[in-house]
Chain A
Amino acid sequence: MSLRDLYQQYHEQVEFLKIYIREAHPKDGWWLGGGIMGKMLKRGIPKTATEVYDPKTIEDRRSVASQCEESLQYGMHTYVDEINDPVSKAYAAKPTRLYLIGLDGRVAYAGGLGPYGFSPAALKNAINAYLTSMQIESHPEPLSGD
């Protein structure tokens, strides 16, 4: 289950917001693009960028986010966190994380921290469970009469 599949399957029932946050492995930081690791990355996840520097201004960040959106083509709109990372910090989101927010504004699903806890399949299960609960609430099963 990829994020693209998830979006295509549920985008009419769920609003998907891709939030671009600080680069996890920029070339001027914890870079994974060199050596054997770089070769493995390029082979295993060819759309992952390895030559990106950590944006220092919001304009640079938007520019990289735009390249990211174009390359990954999840289908969902990308929004860009401010340069001091307020949303990323509020959601403890770096390097990657998934959430589902319910109609009541409460967290219905809080995914684990990426990359190991990043699971589109788990988000799918959470979406299914949430949508099912919504149907039950809006169309409760009639009480059995005697």
Chain B
Amino acid sequence: MPTTTHYIKNEKAWQKKYNASGPKAGDLAPDFELADVNGNNLVRLSDFQGRKPVALVFGSFT
């Protein structure tokens, strides 16, 4: 069974891998298209360009 140390190591590796390429202030925000919790109502980030600023709130339940 994996230990807490194993999970922490994996998380740090994930963050190291993706942090470097994550957008910084001034960078063009990567576009995306996602559906809601029912798999409907697709939203595309670029649809708001020129219309409204967008706050992105990333997270999970735990």
Contact = CB atoms under 8 A, between A and B. Distances in A.
Contacts of B14: 94
The A contact surface, by secondary structure, is: mixed
A62 B39 contact: yes
B48 to A, nearest CB: 5
Contacts of B51: 103
A41 to B, nearest CB: 9
B61 A13 contact: no
Contacts of B60: 20-24, 64, 68, 95-96
A62 B62 contact: no
Interface residues of A, number: 76
Given A30-B7, A127-B53, A52 B58 contact: no
A72 B59 CA distance: 11
Q: Which of A30, A88, A100 has the most chain B CB atoms closer than 10 A to its own CB?
A: A30
A18 B23 CA distance: 18
B58 A110 contact: no
B58 to A, nearest CB: 4
Nearest to B49: A105
A99 B24 CA distance: 9
Given A19-B58, A24-B60, 18 more contacts: A14-B52, A14-B54, A22-B60, A23-B61, A49-B61, A62-B35, A74-B57, A77-B43, A79-B37, A88-B58, A94-B15, A94-B18, A99-B29, A101-B29, A101-B54, A103-B51, A127-B53, A127-B55
Interface of B: 4, 7-8, 11, 14-15, 18-19, 21-32, 34-39, 41, 43, 45-46, 48-62
Interface of A: 3, 6, 10, 13-26, 29-30, 32-33, 48-50, 52, 58, 62-69, 71-72, 74, 76-82, 86-110, 113-114, 123, 127, 130-131, 134
